[in-house]
Amino acid sequence: MPHATASQTPAELPVEELDWIQMRKDFSGVHAETTKEKMARKINENPLVPIGCAATLTALGLGLWNFRKGRSQMSQYMMRARILAQGFTVIALIIGVGMTYGTKEPATKK
């Protein structure tokens, strides 16, 4: 796609190059969600996922700490707990996606 030069007038510019201007006008009143707002919304929608992530990280940390201290039996126990916590997190994700999918409105044809 050739780019417009400084000598071209607005009437000579191809329409494709002006699409972003129209899009900016269309979405000027739309609030862009920040990362913090998105995370808070996701946590409110499915609070079990962060709980599962925290449990996974806790079990992993304790397992590695026990491994370093030479407590192999406790380390193995914590690694098994980590697997259970990961499974819980995956199940919570699947349930959350299912619930979100079930509550979305079907798209209407124009």
- For 46-55, the pLDDT digits (tens) are 889 999 999 9
Q: What tokens does 107 get? A: 């798209």
Closest CA to 67 of 76, 58, 59: 76
For the chain, give every domain's residue range.
Answer: 73-103
Q: Is 47 helix (H, G, I), strand (E, B) or coil?
A: coil
Residue 1's CB is within 10 A of a number of other CB atoms, namely 5
- For 23-66, the pLDDT digits (tens) are 767 777 777 888 999 899 888 888 899 999 999 999 999 999 99
| pLDDT given at position 33 | 83
First to last CA, the chain: 31
Query: What is the rounded average pLDDT for all residues in the chain?
Result: 82
> What's the one-letter identity of residue 68?
R
Determine the Cα–Cα distance for residues 103 and 40; give it in Å rounded to an integer: 19
